[in-house]
Amino acid sequence: MLSKKMQDALNQQVNAEYFSSYLYLSMAAYFQAENLNGMATWMKKQSQEELMHALKIFDYIDSRGGKVTLTAIDAPETAWKSPLAVFEATCKHEAHVTSLIHNLVNLAKAEKDHATESFLIWFVNEQVEEEDTAQQIVAKLKLVKDAPSGIFLMDRELGMRA
Ligand SMILES: [Fe+2]
Ligand SMILES: [Fe+2]
């Protein structure tokens, strides 16, 4: 059985994952409006992944006899000044989520909740990958600067995300 404190913290993380999904969907809308459909595709896939993260925690709370409580999702930003700005915001957001996951691990450790600590390892590893991926895209967009041909190629590359 989860402690009330652990349960509440995991419920907050469900909300944070839904917010992430909503943020990336908002970024997809921005890209589609800019005719960058490849980047929009990448963001829609990212948005879907965040929904999977939310559901993973949702099911975990339930499997430990906890109560899932859904709360209001904040409105995401809706405008950015460039593709680089979008991916920089993505990096910043993922770093924030990493800190949230690490706080959950710290709480699980403090409570000697080994099952939750073990469950969270998947998220710790996932965050390493997500931060790395976003940073690589930022690095490439910095090389491209505002060159239209570079943006065109990046859009095509990101659109091929499986
Ligand atoms: Fe996530
Ligand atoms: Fe993420």
Can you give the pLDDT at residue 30? 98
pTM (two decimals): 0.96
CATH number at residue 134: 1.20.1260.10
Domain count, the chain: 1
Nearest ligand to the CA atom of 123? 1
CA of 141 relative to ligand 1 center, distance in Å:
23
CA of 68 relative to ligand 1 center, distance in Å:
17
Q: What domain range is 139 assigned to?
A: 4-158
Nearest ligand to the CA atom of 92? 2
What percentage of the chain has pLDDT greater than the value 70?
A: 100
Can you give the pLDDT at residue 123? 98
Structure tokens at 138: 């930022």
Distance, in Å, from the CA atom of 156 to the CA atom of 18, rounded to the nearest integer, reads: 27
- Tell me 64's DSSP state: T
> Letter for the amino acid at 23?
L
Can you give the pLDDT at residue 138? 98
- Specify whether the CB–CB gap between 63 and 51 falls below 8 A: no
What percentage of the chain has pLDDT greater than the value 90?
A: 97
CA of 20 relative to ligand 1 center, distance in Å:
7
pLDDT digit string (tens) for 107-159?
999 999 999 999 999 999 999 999 999 999 999 999 998 899 999 999 999 99
